């Protein structure tokens, strides 16, 4: 018996596209924080790009939803085209089968007619048949 090899999981060597770069926001190290006399609270200074994250998140969500909508539309179009193609294939196959049956029947009819004519000619040669006038 022939055994199928077990499928191996795709690893680093089977990567199709290039590796995606790691993209992380890094905080700049605070070199020195001047001390103030008033004793303000020691809240960490936010990174300037962190304020853009909510807007960026909304943009990414909108873009992904647009891509999803586009993919759904394209998939629906592809499914409709495949259904139409399969319908045409079935129609042509049925038409071909019916033509093949008709041609085979005509061939048998021609063969029977040919055999009948051959038999008539043989009988005429022997003189057993009268030729219609």
Q: How confident is the model at residue 9 (pLDDT cuts 50, 70, 90)?
A: low
Residue 60 tokens, joined: 């990414």
- The per-residue pLDDT for 124 is 80
- In the block, residue with structure tokens 């590796």: 19
> Which one, of 23, 74, 67, lies nearest residue 49 by Cα?
23
C-alpha to C-alpha distance for 102 and 106, rounded to whole angstroms = 6
Backbone angles phi and psi of 18, in degrees to 5: -75, 155
What are the counts of helices (DSSP H) followed by strands (DSSP E) for the chain? 1, 0
Write down the domain spans for the chain.
53-126
Residue 119 tokens, joined: 């038999």
Residue 105 tokens, joined: 């029947």
pLDDT higher than threshold 90 for residue 126? no
Residue 91 tokens, joined: 């129609």
Alpha helices in 1-133 (DSSP H): 53-126
- In the block, residue with structure tokens 């003189």: 127
C-alpha to C-alpha distance for 26 and 13, rounded to whole angstroms = 30
Q: How confident is the model at residue 63 (pLDDT cuts 50, 70, 90)?
A: very high
Q: Evaluate whether 29 touches 47 at the Cβ level (below 8 Å).
A: no
pLDDT higher than threshold 80 for residue 76? yes
Residue 125 tokens, joined: 């040669």
Predicted TM-score of the model (pTM): 0.43
Q: How confident is the model at residue 100 (pLDDT cuts 50, 70, 90)?
A: very high
């Amino acid at each position: 018996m022939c055994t199928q090899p077990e499928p191996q999981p795709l690893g680093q060597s089977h990567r199709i596209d290039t590796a995606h770069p790691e993209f992380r926001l890094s905080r700049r190290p605070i070199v020195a924080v001047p001390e103030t006399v008033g004793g303000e609270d020691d809240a960490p200074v936010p990174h300037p790009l962190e304020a853009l994250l909510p807007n960026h998140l909304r943009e990414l969500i909108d873009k992904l939803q647009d891509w999803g909508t586009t993919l759904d539309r394209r998939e629906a179009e592809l499914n409709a085209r495949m259904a139409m193609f399969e319908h045409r294939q079935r129609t042509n196959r049925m038409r071909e089968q019916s033509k093949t049956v008709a041609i085979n029947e005509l061939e048998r009819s021609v063969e029977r007619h040919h055999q009948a004519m051959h038999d008539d000619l043989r009988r005429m040669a022997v003189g057993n048949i009268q030729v219609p006038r």
